Every structure is written in C-alpha cells, then in structure tokens.
Amino acid sequence: MITKFDVVVIGAGAAGLFCAIEAGRRGRKVLVVERNSQVGRKIIISGGGRCNFTNVFTSPENFVSNNPHFCKSALARYTPDDFIRLVKKHKIDFYEKKLGQLFCRESSRQIVDLLLAECERSRVEIRTGQSVLKIDKQKYFLVETASGSVECESVVIATGGLSFPKVGATDFGYGVAREFGLKIEPTRPALVPLVFETNGETGKLAGLSIDAAVSTSDLEFRENILFTHRGLSGPAILQISNYWKKGSDVSIDLLPGTNAHELFNTNARSRKSLTNFLSQFMPEKAARLFSPLQIADKPVVQIGKTDLEQVAESLNNWKVRFRDTEGYDKAEVTIGGVSTNELSSQTMEATNVSGLFFIGEVVDVTGWLGGYNFQWAWASGYAAGQAV
Ligand SMILES: Cc1cc2nc3c(=O)[nH]c(=O)nc-3n(C[C@H](O)[C@H](O)[C@H](O)COP(=O)(O)OP(=O)(O)OC[C@H]3O[C@@H](n4cnc5c(N)ncnc54)[C@H](O)[C@@H]3O)c2cc1C
C-alpha cells in the first residue's frame, strides 16, 4: 500500500528531527523514517552522555569543507542563541564547560525528549525500526521501506556520516546522492585519535594527559593531549585530526607559553638532574621520556649547550609522524560527503534534483570538537525545514 506525505525525512538524528519539526510547524505533513528502534542514538551518547548541544562562539571558521562559505547562510539564520532559547523553553538545565561549549547538566536524553516533544507539536509522524531501501523519482518521490512505500513531494536525506557504525551510521545518503548524479567529496574519519607511525617508548605514557599546543601548517589548538597505547588522543589531537593528512607531520609544543631554550638559559647553573628539572614543568613520566638517556640523570649545569638545545627543541616542537587514524569506529564525525557545489546554501536542496534535500553530517561540512556539529545539524535542518 502506498501512503502519501508532503515530506519524508530519512534519519531521525539531530538534523532530521529538527528539519521535521520546522516543516511540520509550517503545516507540512511530515514522516520521519529511522532504521534504529530508537531515535537520536548519537545524541544520547554525545558529550559523554551530556550532549554538548551547541557552542556560543560558532562561526563559519569552525567548520571544514571544500567550500568554506557554504555553511554561512544556514548558520546565520539559525544561531546558537535560537537553540538556547528552545532549550530554556523546555526547562533543560545547562552549563558552559569551557570555550563556549554548552552541555546539559543532567542528561543528553533531555535533548532527545525536547526534539520528540516538538515533533509532536508539529504533528510529525515517526516510524522507527525501518530502513529506507530505495528512492525513485517520477512526478513525485517514491520512498521504499520494508513495510511499504510512501509517496511525497520532498525527500530529506539526514542519514549522517560513517562514524560510529554501531549506533546506526550507514552510507545510504552517499548512495542516494550518487544515484541522482550528485558528486561526493572523499570521506575520512575525523575528530578521531591518531596512531603513531612508530610506537617507540611513548606507549609507557598511556593514560597520561597534558596541556599542549598542537599544530599543522593550517592551524594550532591549545588543549590537552592524551597518550594512548598506540598514539595520541585528547581534545587537541581530535581537533587537529580534522586537518591532518597522511604523510604530514604534526608539531606538538609540550610546554605551551614557555620558551624551553630561555628556560635552560636562565637555569643554566641548576644542579637538578635534567629529569627532575623538567618535572617542575610537566609530569615526571613525560619529563623522563623527553630526557635523552645519556643525560637524563646529569645535573643541568653539566650538560652541554647543544644537548640542551636539542631537548628544548623536542619540548617546544615535538615533530610527530602518524601512520593513520583509529578509524570510523572511534571517530566522532566524517569529513567530506555530498558536495556543497550540488546544493543550495539557502535551502540544502539539490540544485539539479528539485525536492531532494541533504542536511547534517552527510553534507561536506564538518565542525570542530565543541558543539559545532550539532549546531550545523540544527542550522541545516532549519534551512531545509523552511523550504520542503
Ligand atoms: C561518540 C560521539 C559523541 C559526539 N558528541 C558530540 C557533541 O557533544 N557535540 C556535537 O556537536 N557533536 C557531537 N558528535 C557529532 C554529532 O553526534 C553528529 O555530528 C550529529 O549527530 C550528526 O547528526 P545527523 O542528524 O546528521 O546524523 P546522525 O545523528 O548520525 O543521524 C542519522 C540517522 O540516520 C539513520 N539512518 C541511516 N541510514 C538510514 C536508512 N537507510 N534508513 C533510515 N534511517 C537511516 C541512522 O540510524 C541515524 O539515526 C558526537 C559524535 C559521536 C560519535
């Protein structure tokens, strides 16, 4: 049996639900189809269970895309303040953790409840536990699921990226784009831990977290890094993973704000061993690892200038070569996706396929760590919601 709706949204994540709410508010008859038995599974696990739902400092510079201008219009029309107003309306208690990142005080489940309550107000129908198998277009779209077909004027693809497949990520959205002749920008895991090319002694530091400034030729992030058994993680590394390319070095300053050369110059007469001296500025385990064996226990005063300069360089400019990322299983997002050249930045509609929209992570727009990805989901969902 074929049922009829104005709009079918595929994927009940942040972007899909938000688009459905907006379209329903305009009086459109909206169906959301979700393959999981539960909606918003990524929202529930996000932000360590507290959902970092936006960032008050969101601006286009916080996003990676082949067209950095594409996100501007949508971000300007639905801002962090707009979403904060909605959160307040639902009496959800929240706080700023750091750097403009807003988290629920209680649970990320509250954001899902907010979206479901708004869907109900907008008379949106949600069908869970149903994968969309195929989409055809003649005069209208025909959306095929295992339990029947739906005819509609507009289809919104909100099926997300490839990261965290265990909570429902599929490549369905990219497949639809290809079928309708839209270009896909190459995808790769992002906001993801990185794996050392050679592991050496650093595995001994697994679990250690230190303040650092991490940079590539493009950008620098100052936050913590976390040593893992195979490489590095922590916020500064997740941020730089959005910009890291295979074969390129990452530079890590382990004493950010301190010039290690000057530090040695002003303490040239110190009688402390090199390791003990460095332990004043960094955890002892790290101080030991960055003190070359032959001079680690020597008093600083007895160490030659060249050796100290080399240590200083390795502290302020530790050049790290990574072999790979930890992959989609550990990545918070996917870089790349449906090319923004194929979409209207005002509405998210495919330029050459009227009635077909792409929103959220499936599009080639990826945010930094810190609430930016949800803000993109709300903003792109809002933009499409006004047009479907
Ligand atoms: C562990 C983790 C923590 C994160 N924390 C944060 C955070 O705190 N703040 C932040 O801003 N971002 C965070 N992110 C990123 C953020 O979750 C995503 O960018 C955002 O959820 C993308 O929303 P979306 O609606 O585009 O896609 P998704 O949320 O991935 O939703 C897509 C939906 O489509 C469904 N689907 C897929 N294929 C089909 C099909 N064929 N038929 C029907 N349904 C289908 C999926 O099951 C899924 O429910 C986190 C990500 C992860 C993995």
Does ligand 1 lie within 6 Å of residue 332's CB atom?
yes
Closest Cα to atom 22 of ligand 1: 361
Does ligand 1 lie within 6 Å of residue 370's CB atom?
no
Q: What was the pLDDT predicted at 313?
A: 97
Cβ 336 vs Cβ 313: under 8 Å = no
2 confidence band (pLDDT: 50, 70, 90): confident
Closest Cα to atom 33 of ligand 1: 11
| Count of Cβ atoms closer than 10 Å to residue 366 Cβ | 26
Does ligand 1 lie within 6 Å of residue 230's CB atom?
no
3-class state of residue 95 by DSSP:
strand
146 confidence band (pLDDT: 50, 70, 90): confident
* Cα of 208 from ligand 1 centre, angstroms: 29
Which conformational region is residue 190 in: left (phi greater than 0), alpha (psi within -120 to 50 degrees), or beta?
A: beta
Span 350-366, mean pLDDT? 98
| Count of Cβ atoms closer than 10 Å to residue 154 Cβ | 23
Does ligand 1 lie within 6 Å of residue 170's CB atom?
yes
Averaged pLDDT score across all residues of the chain: 96
Q: What was the pLDDT predicted at 168?
A: 83
Does ligand 1 lie within 6 Å of residue 12's CB atom?
yes
Does ligand 1 lie within 6 Å of residue 339's CB atom?
no
pLDDT at position 50 over 80: yes
By DSSP bridging, strand 356-358 and strand 154-157 are: parallel
Does ligand 1 lie within 6 Å of residue 115's CB atom?
no
Q: Which residues face 194 on adjacent strands?
A: 232, 325
Does ligand 1 lie within 6 Å of residue 172's CB atom?
yes
Pocket test of ligand 1: the residue of 35, 39, 42 to mutate, having most ligand atoms within 8 Å of its CB, is 42
Ligand 1 atom nearest residue 40's Cα: 49
Ligand 1 atom nearest residue 41's Cα: 49
DSSP 261-323: HHHHHHTTT--SBHHHHHTTTS-HHHHHHTS-GGGTTSBGGGS-HHHHHHHHHHHHSEEEEEE
Rounded to a whole number of angstroms, the distance between the first and last alpha carbons of the chain is 24
* Cα of 306 from ligand 1 centre, angstroms: 51
Does ligand 1 lie within 6 Å of residue 373's CB atom?
yes
* Cα of 163 from ligand 1 centre, angstroms: 8
Span 103-123, mean pLDDT? 98
Distance CA 325, CA 244 (A): 9
171 confidence band (pLDDT: 50, 70, 90): very high
**What are the E-state strand segments in 161-219?**
184-190, 194-196, 209-215
* Cα of 282 from ligand 1 centre, angstroms: 37
Ligand 1 atom nearest residue 331's Cα: 53
Ligand 1 atom nearest residue 163's Cα: 53
Cβ 363 vs Cβ 348: under 8 Å = yes
Angle in degrees, 0-180, between the axes of helices 80-89 and 372-385, rounded to the nearest 10: 90
Distance CA 47, CA 42 (A): 10
Q: What was the pLDDT predicted at 202?
A: 82
Does ligand 1 lie within 6 Å of residue 168's CB atom?
yes
Residue-range domains of the chain with CATH: 2-189+333-385 (3.50.50.60), 194-325 (2.40.30.10)
Distance CA 365, CA 248 (A): 23
Does ligand 1 lie within 6 Å of residue 54's CB atom?
no
Q: What was the pLDDT predicted at 204?
A: 84
Does ligand 1 lie within 6 Å of residue 159's CB atom?
yes
The amino acid present at 46, given as its one-letter code, is S
Span 226-255, mean pLDDT? 96
Q: What was the pLDDT predicted at 278?
A: 97
User: What are the pLDDT digits (tens) for 182-206?
Assistant: 999 999 999 999 999 987 778 889 9
